[in-house]
Structure 1
Amino acid sequence: MTTKHVLELAVCTVTDKEAALAARGKAMQAVSRYPGFVSWRAVTACETADLLADLVEWQTLEAAREAGKRVMTDPDFAPYMAAIGSVQLMQHFLTERQI
């Protein structure tokens, strides 16, 4: 069964991986309480030491967009934002098929 939830994919490089990983844990806890939050899968690249990706699932695109605004002023998210050197990709997706 395919859900109509929205997947948000953020891929970024970090300036201090250890600090970013610690900060990401706090950010995940904060975002998990946002309206429309479903899940967050945090991954690190195998071949590129400073590359992280976050796959966050939202009930709706509107919930994802509202969360995007909210993280900009959320003090629990600020340390993670500070650890990000550059954003390679930040996009919302709908699942077409899944097996």
Structure 2
Amino acid sequence: MTTDTVLEIAVCTVADKPAAEQARRAAMDAVKTYPGFVSWRALTSVEQGDMIADLVEWTDKDSADAAATKVQADPAFAPYMAAITGVTLMQHFETQGTI
């Protein structure tokens, strides 16, 4: 089974994980209203204490790109972006198969 949606994977490091997770919840509330938003799975690393990841699903790449621009000016995202100390991966993917 394949899907036409686009998955955005962001893997980041943070200095203060509890503060970053709180800021992420506010960002998640804001993004629900963005055009093309489908879902957001917030992940925290079991092995690495300063690592978090986000798996965000968009209806298409254009919506993901528009959201990337919008978050830069959205005050709801400022605390989350400030909590991130480094980005290990930020990419968009198409689903090739699901089991």
Instruction: Please give the TM-score of this superposition, normalised by the length of structure 2.
Output: 0.98
C-alpha displacement at 1:51, in angstroms?
0.2
Alignment-mate amino acid for residue 64 of structure 2:
A
- Say which SS state the counterpart of residue 88 (structure 1) adopts: strand
2: CA distance between counterparts of 1:66 and 1:43? Answer: 23
Map of 1:59 onto structure 2:
59
Map of 2:79 onto structure 1:
79
Runs of 4+ residues deviating >3 angstroms: none
Alignment-mate amino acid for residue 63 of structure 2:
A
The runs of 5 or more residues in structure 2 that have no matched partner are none
Instruction: Please give the TM-score of this superposition, normalised by the length of structure 1.
Output: 0.98
Alignment-mate amino acid for residue 46 of structure 2:
C
Aligned residues: 99
1: CA distance between counterparts of 2:15 and 2:68? Answer: 21
1: CA distance between counterparts of 2:54 and 2:4? Answer: 19
Map of 1:40 onto structure 2:
40
2: CA distance between counterparts of 1:96 and 1:69? Answer: 27
2: CA distance between counterparts of 1:88 and 1:40? Answer: 18
Per-residue CA shift, 1:7-28, capped at 9, x if unaligned? Answer: 0000000011111000000000
Map of 2:30 onto structure 1:
30
1: CA distance between counterparts of 2:83 and 2:16? Answer: 6
State whether structure 2 residue 2 is matched by structure 1 residue 2. yes
Map of 1:50 onto structure 2:
50
- Say which SS state the counterpart of residue 82 (structure 1) adopts: helix
Aligned CA RMSD, in angstroms, stands at 0.5
